[in-house]
Structure 1
């Protein structure tokens, strides 16, 4: 833990910067940030590509601790998480900056921001936990941009929430080095990882990153943690939606992660630097879902479209529909109190309660107290 939780934090202004410890000094005098594989090498006064981590007084510091934006209560299904406390509300927020440079970013106004007014709202860790509890949220979600880059803040917020019975969700691209990955996910209860494509070419050309680091995060989550996680792939026409790539990706998931990790295929809409590409056809999402199911994956979903069939959860044993969804709205529910199929009693992978929440599909912007 970063040890930066301030008692009575709800009444304190965020510090200008906080120290970090994943960095080292190079022979030429530069300091290398070791949080993610980008390994930014900085001289005094410079910031990394993420914008929120920079060098001051011969150390790497975090500029966005306690500064967040976009506070909103969402359905947990919007993260998307279909197997983690379905139907419950989650307090969502993010900061400025990102450690990838995805040309299709659909939250670019925050993730690509270089203006401090994006970080204007004060939200210290204990204040976040208190507000989540006051608002009736079962969890908080670090989202919109990637919490990897503000991990000290996220870890402390998750710790404060855990003390009040609030869960923490990381919505991340999974682009992270091993040691910080262990600390970060040690504080999280659930995650959705963006597997943006299944080729190094795509990651390098479109995202400015590397696929292998993301695959290592997925294997780490599956085999070395108890964090519940799901995977999302945004399908972009002509970029990452070929049959060949979808077969390769879903085979890898099946072989390395097993059949029970939920996979979401979501629809692209033209944005930021890729406005010349058309929306993803619904037929593409359906085709991808069928490929994934053919590889033995049990829970495969379509998203950003109205598709009740592709959005619902089915028993992998008896094939009955167990959780009906249309967009983020829940319908029929056929899980028993133990999270098993109500028809054949087969266990269903996930974190379920006796009954689903009733938050519904609404999105409610909020101001923190």
Structure 2
């Protein structure tokens, strides 16, 4: 029978066995399940600053893991090989790692400066059940959890993972409804998620500046002003675009444009960082 997935704003109506547009969730015998649960496509020990997080345990390392699937379709995605892959193909290039095993690996890496687990690379909240189950164990082991997400999810998802997440970096890809529609998303959903997350854990935001798309000074004023309405202390990472995927014909963002937009944001926010420059 048909079932509605309520994880994100798309609310996919799925027939038995059908996979949602995220490529990770499916209808199995009348239940919406996480089809990428435990299937890891990428794993590396990264610096916390690479997430990017600058005001949360900087100078440490974190075990970073990713699966497959994403509920957006950004034409510039640098990880599209895994984020734009659905279950059947995604599992071909993945290994199964249970929450218990991932927690054990994280603990073993303490001697190399590891503070916990970061759920990243693809869109981790497309498989929020795995994040929740693993993060709970990581917390019980006295370690930290970091989520790197596009924030395009319902607050119910945040309620499930929230008790176990210490920090998030959330993409705020722009500040116009039209731009978010191009990416297959919804600005208001992201704003609600950010506002709710900021009340639960440490939050930093990232805006990738794409030439001709979200690089208008007025848009940055609106974006930074809205963040400041939540808190002037929320860090914003203003980062430089490089040609990727369907935008490989575009030129990289001019460095001076990134700095110019960061200067605008600094009028509203206490912590503004530039990236990829």
TM tier, smaller: over 0.9
Q: How does 1:97-246 map to 2 (within 5 A)?
A: 97-114=69-86, 115-117=89-91, 120-136=94-110, 137-205=114-182, 207-223=183-199, 225=200, 227-246=201-220
Q: Secondary structure at the match of 1:151?
A: helix
Q: Secondary structure at the match of 1:148?
A: helix
Where structure 1 has 5 or more consecutive residues not aligned to the other structure, the ranges are 1-28, 306-369
The 8 Å contact of residues 95 and 119 in structure 1, kept in 2 or not, is answered as no
May I ask how many residue pairs the two structures share in their alignment? 272
After superposition, the Cα gap between the structure-2 partners of 1:196 and 1:118, relative to the gap in structure 1 and judged at 3 Å, is farther
The 8 Å contact of residues 66 and 125 in structure 1, kept in 2 or not, is answered as yes
Offset, 1:290: 0.6
Q: Which residue of the other structure, out of 235, 249, 262, is the alignment partner of 2:235?
A: 262
Offset, 1:119: 5.2
The 8 Å contact of residues 56 and 202 in structure 2, kept in 1 or not, is answered as yes
Q: Give the TM-score normalised by structure 2.
A: 0.95
Deviations 1:46-87 (A, max 9, x none): 110111111121221221111112110110000000011111
Distance 1:247 1:270 in 2: 25
Distance 2:159 2:168 in 1: 14
Deviations 1:131-165 (A, max 9, x none): 11111210211101111111000101101111111
Query: Which residue in 1 is equivalent to 2:27?
Result: 55
Offset, 1:248: 0.8
Offset, 1:129: 1.1
Query: Which residue in 2 is equivalent to 1:67?
Result: 39
Q: Which residue of the other structure, out of 238, 260, 263, is the alignment partner of 1:287?
A: 260
* Structure 1 position 91 matched with structure 2 position 63: yes
Offset, 1:118: 5.1
Distance 2:108 2:92 in 1: 25
Distance 1:61 1:32 in 2: 11
After superposition, the Cα gap between the structure-2 partners of 1:290 and 1:118, relative to the gap in structure 1 and judged at 3 Å, is farther
The 8 Å contact of residues 39 and 91 in structure 2, kept in 1 or not, is answered as no
The 8 Å contact of residues 82 and 90 in structure 2, kept in 1 or not, is answered as no
Q: Which has the larger radius of gyration?
A: 1
Q: Give the TM-score normalised by structure 1.
A: 0.72
Query: Which residue in 2 is equivalent to 1:272?
Result: 245
Where structure 2 has 5 or more consecutive residues not aligned to the other structure, the ranges are none
- Segments ≥4 residues shifted beyond 4 Å: none
* Structure 1 position 77 matched with structure 2 position 49: yes
The 8 Å contact of residues 76 and 85 in structure 1, kept in 2 or not, is answered as yes
Deviations 1:217-252 (A, max 9, x none): 1111223x1x11100000001100111111111111
